[in-house]
Amino acid sequence: MKNDRRQFLKTTSQAAATTAFVPYFFSSKPAYAFSTGSKNDRAALGLIGAGGMGMGNCRSAAGMIDVVAICDVDKGRMNQANQVLSKGKADLYEDYREMLSRDDIDVLHIATPDHWHAKPLIEAMYAGKDVYCEKPLTLTIDEGKWIRKVQKETGRIVQVGTQQRSTFQLFTKAMAIVADGRLGKIKKVQAAIGGAPASPAIPVADIPANLNWDRWLGPAPAVDFRKLDRDDSKRAHTNGHYEFRWWYEYSGGKLTDWGAHHVDIATWALQMAGQEDTPLSIEGTAKHPVEFKNGVPQQTDRYNTATAFNFNVKFPGDVEMIIRNDTDNGVLIEGETGRIFVNRGKLVGAPVDELKDNPLPEDAIKKVYKGFDPVHNGRKAHWANFLTAVDQKRDPISDVHSHMKMLNLCHLAGICARLGRKLNWDAATETITGDEQANSMLARPYREGYEIEMPIAAG
């Protein structure tokens, strides 16, 4: 299998090299006709990761896609997704790499746990596929460097699942207010993202019959499956499905889970104001449910990501960003002449009230939305944006380069939390200055057998 895969990637390297310089063919069919529902206008999609996000995202794209292939290491989830998304007609795989050579798949959607994002994404780009990948895009900062490099080399279109960028009535409107100068120069932004849960000790348990646990772990270290049922009708405590996000081994906790949404909006505001969005330093405090030594959790049988935190990020021009858990969930943007607050339920502030008498220009939303025509809203709009970007060979609204600028902040906050000290960031080298231990946490080794496979020509 490995030799076959190497040969396959070798043969695809020429295509990858070509797309770095010459855009591949424009589709002969019109831009995906989101409203017609015509099969000829729908994209054939391969789904990698058939859990709640994968299922929900694909259902929101109804009428725009046909799910023709599904991959998951949990056969129960895969079979359920097949029935719901394709009426049992999709081809099923336990190994996503078997999808990559299919020329009848237009796009891929990756909705796996966080530690399984980078590997299939990079291999898919090298195989000539455009991808909608869930957030957070990476488990580490170095994975982001690699993804950005491959995207530039291959020219593939990659949309990140930060759907708030496509919520026109709230977040995108907030960005239009900022871009139109209604707040003046931005002095402070705050991303309040809520805390994370702790757990009791979770015992080793039998691996569910439908689950390939070794493959679920993938690049992460091999450990026992753990599960503790609860008597409050909520999800069981586990180191697997859904609850993976509370383990540093597979995620960054709340800092990358919700941080990838609200820190993204806060960073986007700086960009829309034409201000520097690259940090100089980060410091703050964090509370963990387990003991840490040299940045490593000392208990292995319970959730270990930060449950509470308050970080201060410094930017050039005496601008600061606060990332915290202990106030109203949302993003506060403060400028020299006004301030606004936005979350998924409201957009408020004097500059918002003033729109009644002094509305935004007609094209204000379109400008901040990279010139795309706004269609739909929320998740559906995010899909429409991606598929239009694929068809027109344009950057989607949530591209990997702007996403990683933001996500680097979230990862730095996680390292700061684990080490308990201030970190200084060198944007030119993308390293932490004067701290060898912190720099060692920019990357993580991949477990043998789960390394990222690259075309030979890519080096």
Which pTM was predicted? Answer: 0.91
Query: Per-residue confidence at 232, pLDDT binned at 50, 70, 90?
Result: confident
Q: Enumerate domains of the chain plus CATH numbers.
A: 2-165 (3.40.50.720)
| Integer Cα distance of 384 and 389 in angstroms | 8
Amino acid at 27: S
**How confident is the model over 21-63, as pLDDT tens digits?**
222 222 333 344 444 455 668 999 999 999 999 999 999 999 9
**How confident is the model over 266-307, as pLDDT tens digits?**
999 999 999 999 999 999 999 999 999 999 999 999 999 999
For residue 38, the model assigns a pLDDT of: 56
Query: Per-residue confidence at 6, pLDDT binned at 50, 70, 90?
Result: very low
For residue 208, the model assigns a pLDDT of: 97
Mean pLDDT of 348-377: 96
Mean pLDDT, the chain, as a whole number? 91
- Long-range CB contact pairs, 77-81, < 8 A, 24+: 77/50, 77/51, 77/210, 78/50, 80/50, 80/55, 81/47, 81/50, 81/54, 81/55
For residue 457, the model assigns a pLDDT of: 52
What is the separation of C-alpha 329 from the centre of its chain, rounded to a whole number of angstroms?
A: 19
| Integer Cα distance of 397 and 368 in angstroms | 9
**How confident is the model over 249-276, as pLDDT tens digits?**
999 999 999 999 999 999 999 999 999 9
**How confident is the model over 92-121, as pLDDT tens digits?**
999 999 999 899 999 999 999 999 999 999
